[in-house]
Amino acid sequence: MARKYFGTDGIRGRVGDGVMTPEFVLKLGWAAGRVLCKNNNNLVLIGKDTRISGYMLESVLEAGLSAAGVNSRLLGPMPTPGIAYLTRTLRASAGIVISASHNPYYDNGVKFFSSEGTKLPDDIELEIEQEMEKPLATVSSDQLGKVERVIDASGRYIEFCKSTIASKIRLNGLKLVVDCAHGATYHVAPNVFRELGAEVVAIGSEPDGLNINHQCGATDPKHLRMAVIEHHAHLGIAIDGDGDRLIMVDENGEVVDGDELLYIIGVARKRRNNLKGGIVGTLMSNLGLEHALKNHDIAFKRAAVGDRYVLEMLQQTGWEVGGESSGHIICLDRTTTGDAIVAALQVLEVLVEQQHSLREAKHGMSKYPQTLVNVPVEQKINIEQSKVINAAVNDAETQLADRGRVLLRPSGTEPLIRVMVEGVDAPQVGSLAEQIASVVSQECAVHA
């Protein structure tokens, strides 16, 4: 059965509309509590990012869980991977994250972690949806869930992050600009790097509930690029609003994306003889990554787009490192989910060990020109069954021959169809992407 509410990364929407209302989230908390707390462990953690709507959604989730007889512990603003970590270490049945990740402040979402700190499988999400179809029934008063606040959550997570690199590694002598996107890492990330010895210039670290991801962070690193040059820093670190995406900037202000970071981590592990298997990317990963890894005899596999699918393929193959161009980097031998701070530390460890700059560390990988066009859609259409769209794609693939590729996919979190064209000739790539996007837009209008 298809899931009605859950997308590729939990449930997400504009606050006050559709699924992001107090009534819906109250019922969601109740249903999740009933499904996830069946084995005599009725403890659930709740964390959030810095959106103003987090206060409201936290309250109704807490109420829904209590009505189901489930105890809650509130973590306050915490990075998504930090909530995953604390769910494991505090032995909770589940962790709940209130966040819309890289989206603007007026969106929000709810996603879940299992007791092992991993995202829920589809069948459990479907079970929660089915439970929501039942009338909400409150347990008796003596069985209602209680609520406590975890006062040292950020400190616990800071120590965990530091433990993911060798104890001999010091960041002394490195000057870093850290952009926290006015999000959940604002009180965590700068402290991690400072405590390891780095000089840190923190930007995007003054959340007001409305400025999360606004012209900052991993989705918009232009201010970070300028700050690295202005402060004569060695590199910059950009994190998204909930702390699971990482983009870096080298000493010249050049962006280093998730593909390049995977290359740096993968090649270093190969050199140390501790790379298990190969690297998992996605359908959106640049061909340049695949070819560069091949030059180092490193295997490469592509998962569907979405960090949950990268994780699934890592688990299937028994490999440990994977990620997306957008900056979701997963190191399964360090943690259970994408973690921007942990991923940044893996890269910094390489730079310290090899005494390389970030620019030098990515040497050996050249990205193919790639154009991504997001086409807004009012309602979903089946791309594969559209003869008009297929004809446009086939024509583009014929022109690219074996020098590039075309990928169309619906977004799992936004009302968009993403059109990606990649190849060796940048003007051709851009032109073909715009042509296909125009066809998709016209076809969607016909079916609106």
Closest CA to 435 of 384, 388, 383, 369: 388
User: By the 8 A CB rule, do 435 and 392 touch?
Assistant: yes
User: By the 8 A CB rule, do 281 and 265 touch?
Assistant: no
Phi–psi pair at 116, nearest 5 degrees: -90, 0
Q: Pick from 311, 330, 361: which residue ends a domain? A: 361
- The structural domain count of the chain equals 3
Residue with tokens 């693939």: 397
Residue with tokens 């715009």: 434
State whether 235 and 353 are in the same domain: yes
State whether 181 and 101 are in the same domain: no
State whether 332 and 400 are in the same domain: no
State whether 349 and 249 are in the same domain: yes
Model pTM greater than 0.95? no
The three state secondary structure string of the chain is CCCCCCECCEEEEECCCCCCCHHHHHHHHHHHHHHHCCCCCCEEEEEECCCCCHHHHHHHHHHHHHHCCCEEEEEEECCHHHHHHHHHHCCCCEEEEECCCCCCCCEEEEEEECCCCCECCHHHHHHHHHHHCCCCCCCCHHHCCCEEECCCHHHHHHHHHHCCCCCCCCCCCCEEEEECCCCCCCCCHHHHHHHCCCEEEEECCCCCCCCCCCCCCCCCCHHHHHHHHHCCCCEEEEECCCCCEEEEECCCCCEECHHHHHHHHHHHHHHHCCCCCCEEEECCCCHHHHHHHHHCCCCEEEECCCHHHHHHHHHHHCCCEEECCCCEEEECCCCCCCCHHHHHHHHHHHHHHHCCCHHHHCCCCCCCCEEEEEEECCCCCCHHHCHHHHHHHHHHHHHHCCCEEEEEEECCCCCEEEEEEEECCHHHHHHHHHHHHHHHHHHHHHCC
CA-to-CA distance for 319 and 200, rounded, in angstroms? 33
User: By the 8 A CB rule, do 262 and 323 touch?
Assistant: yes
CA-to-CA distance for 239 and 237, rounded, in angstroms? 7
CA-to-CA distance for 374 and 93, rounded, in angstroms? 38
What residues in the chain have per-residue pLDDT under 50? none
Q: Report yes or no on 2 lying in a domain.
A: no
Closest CA to 160 of 225, 276, 243: 243
Q: Pick from 151, 181, 216: which residue ends a domain? A: 151
Task: Return the pLDDT at 306.
Answer: 86
CA-to-CA distance for 10 and 215, rounded, in angstroms? 24
Q: How far apart are the first and last CA of the chain?
A: 25
State whether 222 and 201 are in the same domain: yes
Q: Token pair of 217, please? A: 């962070």
Task: Return the pLDDT at 413.
Answer: 67
Task: Return the pLDDT at 114.
Answer: 95
Q: Report yes or no on 4 lying in a domain.
A: no
Q: Report yes or no on 340 lying in a domain.
A: yes
Pairing of strands 94-98, 107-113: antiparallel
State whether 165 and 309 are in the same domain: yes
Q: Report yes or no on 1 lying in a domain.
A: no
CATH of residue 376's domain is 3.30.310.50
Task: Return the pLDDT at 448.
Answer: 61
- Domain ranges, residue 406: 370-446
CA-to-CA distance for 266 and 261, rounded, in angstroms? 8
Mean pLDDT of the chain: 95
User: By the 8 A CB rule, do 278 and 272 touch?
Assistant: no
- Give strand pairing partners of 417: 375, 410
State whether 185 and 298 are in the same domain: yes
State whether 382 and 306 are in the same domain: no
State whether 126 and 210 are in the same domain: no
How buried is 63 (Cβ within 10 angstroms: 0-12 exposed, 13-18 middle, 19+ buried)?
A: buried
Q: Report yes or no on 429 lying in a domain.
A: yes
CATH of residue 199's domain is 3.40.120.10
CA-to-CA distance for 328 and 262, rounded, in angstroms? 10
State whether 65 and 167 are in the same domain: no
For 395-431, how does the pLDDT look when each residue is reduced to its tens digit (9 = 90+)?
999 999 878 889 998 876 678 899 999 998 999 999 9
Q: Pick from 330, 361, 392: which residue ends a domain? A: 361
Q: Token pair of 348, please? A: 């910094």
CB atoms within 10 A of CB 438: 14
CA-to-CA distance for 296 and 267, rounded, in angstroms? 7
Task: Return the pLDDT at 447.
Answer: 67
* Catalytic residue list contains 163: no
Phi–psi pair at 131, nearest 5 degrees: -65, -30
For 233-268, how does the pLDDT look when each residue is reduced to its tens digit (9 = 90+)?
999 999 999 999 999 999 999 999 999 999 999 999
State whether 133 and 243 are in the same domain: no
Task: Return the pLDDT at 38.
Answer: 82
User: By the 8 A CB rule, do 320 and 329 touch?
Assistant: no
Greatest CA separation found in the chain? 70
Q: Interhelix angle for 22-36 vs 122-132, to 10°? A: 120
Q: Report yes or no on 236 lying in a domain.
A: yes
State whether 348 and 380 are in the same domain: no
**Which of the following is catalytic: 101, 114, 154, 205?**
101
Return the half-sphere exposure (C-beta side, CA atoms, 13 A cut-off) of residue 189. Answer: 42
Task: Return the pLDDT at 394.
Answer: 94
